[in-house]
Structure 1
Amino acid sequence: MVQVKICGITRVDEALLCARWGAHAVGCVFHPPSPRFVSDLRAAEIAASLPAGVSAVGVFCDADYEAVMRRVERCGIRVVQLHGAESPDLVRRLQAQGVSVIKTLFLNRPPTFSDAEVYGCASAFLAECAGGSLPGGNAIAWDWNAARRMLGDRPLVIAGGLNPENVGRVVEEAQPDAVDVSSGVESAPGRKDPEKVKRFLETVASCEPPRATRRIFS
């Protein structure tokens, strides 16, 4: 099935609800300007609370190698999402340390979908449009199919503008391996709405992917 990451988690109880209802991963944002930013201590608590089979993902924007590895070690995170203009060398260095790296590529700003080749060592790519005031989807809907057209058969996570009402169509048309949602299942920035989370996960679980999918989150 298509996997689901619920991003911007700020509380242990909400992380556990996401896991209970079938999320494959939860994201902890380490970008201070974000209203979903979490401290190292809170991220470590969230990661430690998750059951086996649910990944904690650290989300970074233009952080350097030392900053990323410091949080990997402190917080018990083995998957990172690089959401800025990070270099291919950073991806390679992190992968060499056994860290799984998801590199974000953008429709509207660098690095774009056409840069996938230079980031070929990444474990997967997350595709979104860019264009809001903060890194991340900013609840902006876009042509999700453009990611599949540009990225071909590479492991793909679709993000940006997803919600319980449209995610079924995105799965059917864009054929991702995983989907990533944050504001589309919130009651306020950084606070997840239990009913929206449940409906989102149920919708994805009910979808029959049009092709075989790959596991991005363990």
Structure 2
Amino acid sequence: MKTVKICGLQDKAMIDVALDSGAKHLGFVHFEKSPRHVELTALDFLTDYVGMKAMTWVVLAKPELSLLLEIARNASSVQGMQIHGELPIEVVHEVRKIRPDMKFMRAYSVAEENDFPSQEDMNQYDYVLFDAKPKPDDKLPGGNGTSFNWQIMQGFQVDKPWFLAGGLDAGNVDEAILQSGTQMVDVSSGVESAPGVKDADRIREFIAAALN
């Protein structure tokens, strides 16, 4: 069954659009360099607004353990942590001492088959995500609007639920699903009219194309 995650949301109006259109996962970025950044107070407010209508994720880049623990304690409606960068399993265990139910998604940046992680590494997490490897001049670890050769995913076995991300939009998501073999897609910049500005029509069009 195909699943859509809309990432980088910042307000209730776009949350409603995403939910009404069929998104089952919603992402909220806490990373100050990102145009999609939300403060922790807003994170708690927005994920509480979503409630149990969708899986809610906080998206973090190379976070310190102290930040993860703060989120675990104070943002009770966050259901999962999506981590870009190293995520030692010891960190997962520390967070789960506070929130045993917290899910973890490890994001991997790929450009070629040599970038694939080991099965042992992936098996430590609840979900994994494959995004395009940032270019040297990119300021963000994800959400840069670039894609990679989706076909390389066809020969790679993933035993965890996994999302495909990177450069997806309503015009190419069906081909991305076909070429990669994924059933789960994640989009951020591909449903925006400007960096960090979500567009309701683009959200609707993307979800309709992905779920078609």
Tell me which residue corresponds to 1:215: none
Paired with 2:163 and 2:93, the residues of 1 have a C-alpha distance of 20
Q: List alignment gaps of at least 5 residues for structure 1.
A: 207-218
Equivalent residue for 1:126?
A: 129
Task: State the Cα distance separating 1:5 from its structure 2 match.
Answer: 0.7
Match of 2:4 in 1: 4
- Provide TM-score, normalisation by structure 1: 0.86
Q: Which residue of 1 aligns with 2:177?
A: 171
> Counterpart of 2:117 in 1: which secondary structure?
helix
Question: Contact 1:92–1:121 at 8 Å: present in 2 too?
Answer: no
Whether the 8 Å contact between 1:127 and 1:156 is mirrored in structure 2 is yes
Quickly say closer, same or farther: Cα 1:148–1:122, change in 2 above 3 A: farther
Q: Distance in 2 between matches of 1:82 and 1:27?
A: 11
What is the rounded CA distance, in whole Å, between the counterparts of 2:53 and 2:153 in structure 1?
Answer: 27
**CA 2–46 in structure 1, closer or farther in 2 if over 3 Å, else same:** same
- The CA RMSD measured in Å over matched residues stands at 2.1
Aligned residue in 2 for 1:210: none
Q: Kindly provide the CA deviation profile for residues 25-62 of structure 1, in whole angstroms up to 9, marking residues without a partner as x.
A: 11111111111110111111211111533121100111
Structure-2 separation of matches of 1:163 and 1:77: 26
SS at match of 1:80: strand
Please list the CA deviations of residues 67-90 of structure 1 after superposition, one character each: whole Å capped at 9, or x if unmatched: 112113322202110111232332
Whether the aligned pair in 2 keeps the contact of 1:16 and 1:49 (CA below 8 Å) is no
Counterpart AA for 2:153: A
1:90 matched to 2:96: no
Deviation at 1:130, TM superposition (A): 1.4
What is the alpha-carbon distance in structure 1 between the residues aligned to residue 40 and residue 120 of structure 2?
Answer: 33
Structure 2 contact 72–95 (Cα < 8 Å) conserved: no
Work out whether residues 123 and 159 of structure 2, in 8 Å CA contact, stay in contact via their aligned partners in 1: no
Q: 2:152 aligns with which of 146, 149, 158?
A: 146
How far the C-alpha of 1:151 sits from its partner, in A, is: 4.0
Q: Which residue of 2 aligns with 1:105?
A: 108
Does structure 1 conserve the Cα–Cα contact (< 8 Å) formed by 2:122 and 2:160?
Answer: no
Aligned to 1:214: none
Change in 2 beyond 3 A, CA 1:125/1:179: same
Q: Does 1:161 align with 2:167?
A: yes
Residue correspondence of structure 1 range 162-201 to structure 2 within 5 A? 162-201=168-207
AA aligned to 1:82 is: I
CA distance in 1, matches of 2:57, 2:170: 22
